[in-house]
Amino acid sequence: MTIVMAAIILFGLTLIFATLLGVAKEILRVDEDPRIEQINEVLPSANCGGCGFAGCADFAKAVVEGKAPCDGCPVGGAETAADVAAILGIEVVQTAPFRPIVHCGAKTQDKLGVVPYEGIETCVGANIVGVTQACAYGCLGYSDCVRACTFDALHMVEGRPVVDYDKCTGCGACVKACPRDLIELIPFKEERMLVVACANKESAKAVKAVCKVGCIGCKLCQRFAPDVFEVPGNIADINYEKYTGEETEEVKKVLDKCPAEILLYFGRPKLKHAEQLAAEKAATSRN
């Protein structure tokens, strides 16, 4: 008899609580946009903060609320942007991915006036001493950007940082880490882009005194290819809005004539470029 009573009481309680829960579910329901969850699923989940938000979930919420553009994830690139746009039901305009380039191409042996430095071995520490090398603008070579990179896409090669564009996602952590503002994100319209690898704003004489390869501001590039190059002060600048990455005759001529060795190609070489590079390498090694 007791066992029957217990069963009845429990059954009754279950009914009461089930009804309560059912009612509560209806009354206390919070509507969350299902798209947030969907977008969160297509995002790369790197949580790198490259988009400017606290993480991927935060970014997904911001996209749905219209606070962030659907191609705002630098890690996912065009594919993710397309997926996000499909979920939101809008169309995304294809944009070139932004990737970092370094405005200093001086190798260890190119830098002049290097003095022994005994302080903290970071760029931030060396920068306040300011005099570990003669050039006050160039790369200090103490790897702050390499440490900042969470994708292992930056490495120190011959005293300057070299970006591994296969691994790089364009999150911009290295840009923030550099105390001399040498790293910049530019649109990679082609697989490889031309870059002015110098940041020294001083006159030719002062540049020559501190670096073997620095830009002397001779304005030769501006003369040969005025569409691509500008020389506002003592240093050349490439207009990335106009420059498409195309290797035109003018650009080739500039590359040939430039007296400094600061116009460098950054990025992954295309197949034809790779062949060309290999041929050049073979030629130099034979000499």
Partner 1 sequence: MITALRERMSGLKSFQRGIHPPHRKKYSESVPIELFTPESNLLIPMSQHIGPPCKPTIKPREEVTYGQKIAEIDHPISAPIHATLAGKTAMIAVTLLPGPGGRRCDAVPIKLASDGEALPPDFLAQFLDRNWDSVEPTSYDPEEIIQKIRAGGLVGMGGATFPTYFKLKRNPDQPVDTIVLNGAECEPYLTADHRLMLECPEGIVCGLMLAKHAAGAQRAIIAIEENKPDAIEAMKKAAQGRPDVEVMVCAAKYPMGGERQLIPAVLKRVVPSAPKGLPLNVGVVVVNVSTAHGIARAVVKDLPFTHRVVTVTGLGVKKPGNFLTPIGTSFKELIETCAGGVTDQALKVLAGGPMMGPTVPSLDVPVTKGVGGITVMIDAETMHREEQPCIRCGRCIDNCPLYLSPTKIAHAVKHGDYDLANQYDMQACCECGCCAFVCPAQIPLAHYIRAGKNEWNHIQVQRKAANK
Residues near partner 1 (CB under 8 A): 113, 115, 118-120, 122, 124-125, 127-131, 134, 136, 176-177, 179, 181, 202, 206
Please give the Cα distance from 110 to 210 (Å, whole number): 9
Quote the least distance from Cβ 112 to partner 1, whole Å: 11
DSSP string, 12-70: HHHHHHHHHHHHHHHHT-----HHHHHHHHHS------TTSSSSHHHHHHHHHTTSS-T
Q: How far is the CB of 128 from partner 1 (least distance, A)?
A: 5
Name the residue nearer to partner 1 (CB basis): 61 or 180: 180
What is the nearest approach in angstroms of partner 1 to the Cβ of residue 203?
8
Nearer to partner 1, 80 or 133 (CB): 133
SS3 284: helix
Q: Find the shortest distance in angstroms from Cβ 245 to partner 1.
A: 26
CB of 117 to partner 1, least distance (A): 9
Nearer to partner 1, 87 or 126 (CB): 126
Cα distances (Å, whole numbers) of residue 47 to 75, 176, 205, 257, 286: 10, 17, 46, 45, 48
Closer of 169 and 200 to partner 1 (Cβ): 200
At 58, give phi and psi (nearest 5°).
-65, -40
Minimum distance from residue 194 beta carbon to partner 1 (Å): 25
Amino acid at 95: T
Residue with smaller CB distance to partner 1, 200 or 222? 200
- Segment (H or E) for 88: helix 77-88
Residue 174 or 254 with smaller CB distance to partner 1: 174
The C-alpha atoms of residue 167 and residue 33 are separated, in whole angstroms, by: 33
CB of 279 to partner 1, least distance (A): 42
- Per-residue burial over 17-51, b if 16 or more Cβ lie within 10 Å, else e, is eeeeeeeeeeeeeeeeeebbebbbebbeebbbbbb
Q: In one letter, which amino acid is 191? A: E
| Residue number with CB closer to partner 1 (128 or 274) | 128
Shortest separation between residue 179's beta carbon and partner 1, angstroms: 6
H or E stretch at 98: strand 98-102
Which of 67, 59, 69, 68 has the alpha carbon at shortest distance from 36? 59
Token code pair at residue 80: 């993710």
The Cα–Cα gap between 77 and 26 comes to 40
Residue closer to partner 1 by CB (options 36, 148) is: 148
